[in-house]
Amino acid sequence: MTQSALFFDIGNTNTKIGISPRGGPLLSYVLPSNERQTADEFGLMLLQVLRHAGLAPEALCCALASSVVPGMSLIVRRACERFLGLKTRFVPEDLPLPLENLYARPHEVGADRLVGAYAARRLFPDASFVIAVDYGTATTFDCVRGNAYLGGVICPGVLSSLSALASGTAKLPRISLAVEESEPVPGRSTATSLNHGFVFGFAAMTEGLIRRLSEGMPGPLSVVGTGGFAQAIAGVTDCFDALRPDLLLEGLRLLYEEAGV
């Protein structure tokens, strides 16, 4: 029986789960990151995920995880041990990434940023510089030169910005964060004004930061977009060379393949 690896991208809002046989395609699922749930609850949901994927726990050979939520890390670790009989290895604590970390205090860099930077580098091995832009709880721009992680820029996230705005605005309407126009227009409704403000505003921020960052990066530059909002941004800008909604899961899968775990 061909065995598969299990991957976890544990973020502040969601936990993405990936399943892939060595050298095979990646199947992904998304569950909420809820630190109030028990390991048993999460473990039972994991069994449902495996059932949907048509796999038994015995078909799994290992579990790799990237996490920025310590409480969820413990839940995932305990759930995998009890329900799957697997020890979860966390990146970079248990399994270092083959990237030189040039952060002044390397331990301060979130595992998600390092894994995303590593995955982006592997997607564009011939580029002198790579920038991974992740639209998550925060919007991050992570820069790689050669095989070295240079650092990056952290900006507000789309949904967190919207939540902050809603918390101080009693009549804020629900918006889709989708636009039909290719350029911003003066909104004639609050919903249109908000949609265009968020979509084109974050697009302009993305374009501006990439342009400014690239001034210090002479040579071929490739930009990878990821996160739930990347598709909306890509619809109104051409600043991305690739879109990878599951970039971090892909990074964990590539590390699994490369490290021979």
112 is catalytic: yes
HEC string of the chain equals CCCEEEEEEECCCEEEEEEEECCCCCEEEEEECCCCCCHHHHHHHHHHHHHHHCCCHHHEEEEEEEECCHHHHHHHHHHHHHHHCCCEEECCCCCCCCCEECCCCHHHCCHHHHHHHHHHHHHCCCCCEEEEEEECCEEEEEEEECCEEEEEEEEECHHHHHHHHHHCCCCCCCCCCCCCCCCCCCCCCHHHHHHHHHHHHHHHHHHHHHHHHHCCCCCCEEEEEEECCHHHHHCCCCCCCEECCCHHHHHHHHHHHHHCC
Which is catalytic among the residues 112, 134, 142, 246?
112
- Token pair for 240: 């991305």
The residues annotated with a catalytic role in the active site are 112
